[in-house]
Chain A
Amino acid sequence: MNEAVMNELVDPTMNARSNPETEDSLNIEYTDTVGQPLCEKAKIRTQNVNVFYADNQAIHNVSLDIGAHEVIALIGPSGCGKSTYLRTLNRMNDTIDICRVEGKILLDDENIYSKKQDPVLLRARVGMVFQKPNPFPKSIYDNVAYGPRIHGLTRNKSELDDLVEDSLIKAGLFAEVKDRLHAPGTGLSGGQQQRLCIARTIAVQPEVILMDEPASALDPIATAKIEELMNELKENFTIVIVTHSMQQAARVSQRTAYFHMGRLIEVGETDQIFTNPAHELTEKYITGRFG
């Protein structure tokens, strides 16, 4: 190896990560989403979505398709808009007075923000699991039966029993709670409570499940169970997950979308995003250079 090359090695300003050219490009401008935001068999299509909290714009012109029966992970640093975007998909932002959503969000080609859309029915089709397990202060059975009851999904007790059991099985919880279905849901462990919430979501037979950091309050074993469950759930549902854990995004999703300051920077196959991202911001975020 020649001397000049050896000198470069000991002079950190000369290496590829910190040469002057790279430093000039630190102020990376967003132009357009890189990758493949559209898909052929989309369950949800979002087109030119802008979200405002009063005068503050939280989402800038995001267009993204959510494919049927896929798990898509939304990642990005805090405040990047990924949770805000997630909440537009079942109109959870409607509950915030100052929030305004522009653009089109189509579920099976129907605009979910049209006036004739009942948000309650929408949320039965697009269910949500939150960061912190939030079971109702009711029994395990009643937690799961609550949705089917209010939506009138079953004709009699026996059908309801079957639906509760089926939902608990799908959520991977039945074996652990079958002998105490009438015990309070709040008495379960954190991981079990989260799976109970998933069972409650599944019970109303949604088409899409939105998950907002579903495992961030759980220990590694409970997290592993939720992740394994997601893999099984995608057979029947479309799943959109917001996560701060990049390893989790890499493990559970088929596609990953990277958000940055309210903009959708890059979307791609998860394998590609985590081995060879196309946008410099994605690269910097997933290699831990910020966020």
Chain B
Amino acid sequence: MEQFDIDKHTSSEFEAELEDIRNHLLKMGGKAESQLRTVLTAMLENDEELADELLAQGDDIDQMEIDLDQECTRIIAIRQPAASDLRLIVAVMKSITDIERIGDETEKMARLLKKLIRRDFQSKYFKEIDHLGQEVLANLSAALNALARLDAEEAIKIAQKDQVIDAHFDELNGHLIKHMVKDPNKVKPYLKMSHCAQALERIGDHAKNICENIIYLVIGKDVRHTDIDEVKQDLFD
């Protein structure tokens, strides 16, 4: 058969546009990842200023979401993408919503933290929350790496780890509730800590959503609302 140089689009401009949105998506992901790292540091170090810094950057991720959304809409209107190009656009549009919400959750944590820091509230459970936070951070970083590499197999492994995160969150939250029952005077601060843990659990869920988007983008299969162990078995075992 005749050979074609078919690895690139006939339109190099379109090629560049797709590459561009992928890079911007990863930049946006990197930004959310760094916000999560910052809020965890602020928590461990009781650093209100750091929490303030994070809150001051809040609009950056929102703006990135708007810009990427507009760019995706423009590409759909002008290029009418199909197959893997279409799946890329869909995956980007879904993933930016998840990343934007990760940003919102870190801001929520920063606001809760500020209140706790001002009350000078001390608890051994900050360490536990940080532990959960590090797990979530590792999963989010891994999800963004899998997105950069378009690695669906890795994405499934990362999505599976969300089950561990959920279990740790349940355990931690159980402890916090026990403390609230034991010491009703401290319900408010413990509730705030519980909300922080909940925010981390939600970030874990968003990282899992990003993994599902990667699987859709690479394999073309929608695995949302499906048992992730079954997905792994179906696709890779």
Minimum CB–CB distance for A187 against chain B, Å? 35
- Which chain A residues (1-49) contact chain B, with CB distance < 8 Å? 1-2, 5, 8-9, 12, 15-18, 22-23, 26-30
> Which of A26, A277, A287 contacts B3 (CB under 8 A)?
A26
A26 near B2 with CB under 8 A, answer: no
> Which of A28, A282, A288 contacts B10 (CB under 8 A)?
A288
Given the known inter-chain contacts A275-B220, A276-B220, please indicate yes or no for A290 contacting B4, CB distance below 8 A. yes
B4 near A9 with CB under 8 A, answer: no
A22 near B7 with CB under 8 A, answer: yes
Q: For the complex, what is the distance from the CA of A289 to the CA of B33, rounded to whole Å?
A: 34
Set of chain B residues within 8 Å of A261, measured between Cβ atoms? 1-2
> Which of B2, B5, B33, B87 contacts A1 (CB under 8 A)?
B33
Set of chain A residues within 8 Å of B220, measured between Cβ atoms? 275-276
Given the known inter-chain contacts A26-B5, A250-B82, A274-B83, please indicate yes or no for A8 contacting B149, CB distance below 8 A. yes
Given the known inter-chain contacts A274-B82, A288-B10, please indicate yes or no for A27 contacting B3, CB distance below 8 A. yes
Q: For the complex, what is the distance from the CA of A282 to the CA of B11, rounded to whole Å?
A: 17
CB-nearest residue of chain A to B151: A16
Total chain B interface residues with beta-carbon distance under 8 A: 34
Minimum CB–CB distance for B7 against chain A, Å? 6
Q: For the complex, what is the distance from the CA of A275 to the CA of B10, rounded to whole Å?
A: 19
Q: For the complex, what is the distance from the CA of A110 to the CA of B107, rounded to whole Å?
A: 72
Q: For the complex, what is the distance from the CA of A289 to the CA of B7, rounded to whole Å?
A: 6
A287 near B5 with CB under 8 A, answer: no
B60 close to chain A: CB less than 8 A: no
Q: For the complex, what is the distance from the CA of A18 to the CA of B86, rounded to whole Å?
A: 18
Set of chain A residues within 8 Å of B102, measured between Cβ atoms? none
B19 close to chain A: CB less than 8 A: yes
> Which of A1, A29, A275, A290 contacts B83 (CB under 8 A)?
A275
B225 close to chain A: CB less than 8 A: no
Set of chain A residues within 8 Å of B33, measured between Cβ atoms? 1
B150 close to chain A: CB less than 8 A: yes
Set of chain A residues within 8 Å of B141, measured between Cβ atoms? 1-2
Among the interface residues B23, B148, B149, which one has the most CB atoms of the partner chain A within 10 A?
B148
Total chain A interface residues with beta-carbon distance under 8 A: 35
> Which of B5, B6, B19 contacts A12 (CB under 8 A)?
B19
Q: For the complex, what is the distance from the CA of A289 to the CA of B18, rounded to whole Å?
A: 13
B145 near A5 with CB under 8 A, answer: yes
Q: For the complex, what is the distance from the CA of A288 to the CA of B84, rounded to whole Å?
A: 11
CB-nearest residue of chain B to A16: B150
B6 near A290 with CB under 8 A, answer: yes
CB-nearest residue of chain A to B34: A1
Q: For the complex, what is the distance from the CA of A288 to the CA of B30, rounded to whole Å?
A: 31
A283 close to chain B: CB less than 8 A: yes
B148 near A8 with CB under 8 A, answer: yes
Q: For the complex, what is the distance from the CA of A12 to the CA of B87, rounded to whole Å?
A: 20
B69 close to chain A: CB less than 8 A: no
Minimum CB–CB distance for A287 against chain B, Å? 5
B204 close to chain A: CB less than 8 A: no
- Which chain B residues (1-35) contact chain A, with CB distance < 8 Å? 1-11, 14, 19, 23, 26, 29-30, 33
Given the known inter-chain contacts A1-B141, A1-B145, A276-B220, please indicate yes or no for A289 contacting B87, CB distance below 8 A. no
Q: For the complex, what is the distance from the CA of A250 to the CA of B26, rounded to whole Å?
A: 31
B144 close to chain A: CB less than 8 A: yes
Set of chain A residues within 8 Å of B174, measured between Cβ atoms? none
Residues of A within 8 A of B (CB): 1-2, 5, 8-9, 12, 15-18, 22-23, 26-30, 246-247, 250, 261, 274-277, 281-284, 286-291
Q: Could you list 17 further interchain pairs (A-B, Cβ under 8 angstroms) beyond the known A1-B30, A26-B6, A246-B82?
A: A1-B33, A1-B144, A1-B145, A1-B148, A2-B145, A8-B148, A8-B149, A9-B148, A12-B19, A27-B1, A274-B86, A282-B83, A283-B84, A287-B9, A289-B10, A290-B4, A290-B6
